[in-house]
Amino acid sequence: MKKYIFTLFVYLLIFPVSVNAIDTKAEQAIVIDFDTNEILFEKNSNLKTPPASMTKIMTVYAAFDRIKNTDLSITNECVISAKAYKMGGSRTFLEIDDRVSIDDLLKGIIIQSGNDASIAMAECLGGTEEDFAKLMNVYAKRLGMNNTNFINSSGWPEDNHYSTVYDLALLSNALIRQFPDLYLYFSDKEFTYNEIKQPNRNKLLNTLQGSDGLKTGFTKVSGWGIAATAIRDSRRITVVINGTNSSRLRLNEASNLINWAFSQTSQKQIIDEGQLITEVDVWLGNKPRVNLISSEKVISTLSFDQIQLLKSTIQYKKPIEAPIKKGQVYGVLTITIEGKPDIKVDLVAQNNVNSINPIFKIFAALKYLIFGTSLDE
């Protein structure tokens, strides 16, 4: 197999930006481009730590899934237990034996970070909080959250209750993708229940351009953390950090990471599906050459430096022997981007090429060997 090397400059005409180095005071952090799923920055992203109230993202995910895929409605009501009523920490101020709608519980969890609302939701959907936590772990496994284990629905500190910023980013993006309509709950800025108005604890909704979710968290062990996301010009960035030493610092660090991602990186279409990549000689065919085209579109999040160093190689057998079938793979395009894994794209034939009449094959073969060309050229 012969290898041909060339440098790609296709679809990279958007004005590039120079990337400045980024760091964070958070102990754990991850920045992900929502559309391409590429990690733009990470720091201790797979370190297991208490997720605190960011646990509630999974509690909400489970509720959203039931609403979308079963007959559960946001108008259904749940009876508030003594356990939920007595729960400490941040609260929605539910009253024992009250009947509270799923809608109000979701707002209590998302906006007010109510531990009482989280337990009420867990008991309503799972029978007990313990059984609901088992369901949370089932969802976590399905989503690929391999370094996560939930013991409760609120994030209240307990042994063996842990996650990672990487896993929480997976969860956050899955929730946004799978439940786009219900996700709108996360952008509500305040909620009044029992005549007590409370603002959304995610203050980025008021200070960061494009912010529309998700959830803060704090315990003495984990420090201050946040799963945050923002959308600008149809592009979404998701950030999860944990282990900062103040509420203000977690907001500053999350804002800095999101702003950096938007200003210093951009999505580029490197190759389009069906794009002509190369033309290859045909052996013993009724046409002298065949076009090899890309089998898929390739979009990546790149910095200016990565664009400048972008290269690719094409591998294919030369010549390709007829018959050639349209859409069949005859080569591979490997795109090399500094700091990222290589991207491999199958190259397929654009058209069919039939074999020549057997009577003429011997003459075509001799002509190719002598002149390096096929029958019709």
Q: What share of the chain is helix, strand, coil (3-state, %, to 5)?
A: 30, 30, 40
Q: Is residue 128 part of a domain?
A: yes
Of 144-153, 226-235, 336-345, 364-373, least confident by mean pLDDT is 364-373
Q: Structurally, how many domains does the chain consist of?
A: 2
> Do residues 212 and 177 both lie within one domain?
yes
User: The pTM is what?
Assistant: 0.79
Q: Is residue 48 part of a domain?
A: yes
> Do residues 255 and 169 both lie within one domain?
yes
Output the six-digit token pair for 134: 């088992």
What does the pLDDT look like over 262-283, one tens digit per residue? 998 887 888 899 999 999 999 8
Q: Name the pairing type of β-strands 276-283 and 320-321.
A: parallel
User: Where residue 322 sits, what CATH number does that domain have?
Assistant: 2.60.410.10
Domain final residue, candidates 248, 264, 280: 264
> Do residues 188 and 291 both lie within one domain?
no
pLDDT at position 376: 38
Banded model confidence at residue 204, pLDDT cuts 50, 70, 90: very high
Q: Is residue 6 part of a domain?
A: no
Q: Is residue 224 part of a domain?
A: yes
> Do residues 278 and 255 both lie within one domain?
no
> Do residues 63 and 172 both lie within one domain?
yes
Residue 212 contacts residue 230 (beta carbons within 8 Å): yes
Output the six-digit token pair for 310: 């972008």
Q: Is residue 22 part of a domain?
A: no
Sign of CA dihedral 116, 121, 124, 125: negative
> Do residues 254 and 291 both lie within one domain?
no
Enumerate helices (H) and strands (E) in the chain, giving the number of each. Answer: 10, 18
Banded model confidence at residue 20, pLDDT cuts 50, 70, 90: low
> Do residues 238 and 301 both lie within one domain?
no
pLDDT at position 361: 58
pLDDT at position 305: 74
> Do residues 32 and 155 both lie within one domain?
yes
Q: Is residue 241 part of a domain?
A: yes
pLDDT over 50 (residue 155):
yes
Cα–Cα distance, 217 to 215 (Å, whole number): 7
> Do residues 253 and 344 both lie within one domain?
no
Name the residues annotated as catalytic: 53, 56, 113
Banded model confidence at residue 301, pLDDT cuts 50, 70, 90: confident
What does the pLDDT look like over 22-77, one tens digit per residue? 899 999 999 999 999 999 999 999 999 999 999 999 999 999 999 999 999 999 99
pLDDT over 60 (residue 103):
yes
Cα–Cα distance, 16 to 161 (Å, whole number): 43
Q: Is residue 127 part of a domain?
A: yes
> Do residues 132 and 199 both lie within one domain?
yes
CA 102 to chain centre: 28
> Do residues 183 and 292 both lie within one domain?
no
Domain final residue, candidates 239, 264, 289: 264
Banded model confidence at residue 236, pLDDT cuts 50, 70, 90: very high
Across the chain, mean pLDDT equals 89
Output the six-digit token pair for 333: 């395009």
Domain final residue, candidates 264, 290, 317: 264
Q: Is residue 150 part of a domain?
A: yes
What does the pLDDT look like over 161-188, one tens digit per residue? 999 999 999 999 999 999 999 999 999 9
What range defines the domain where residue 304 resides? 270-371
User: Where residue 155 sits, what CATH number does that domain have?
Assistant: 3.40.710.10
> Do residues 67 and 188 both lie within one domain?
yes
349-362 average pLDDT score = 79
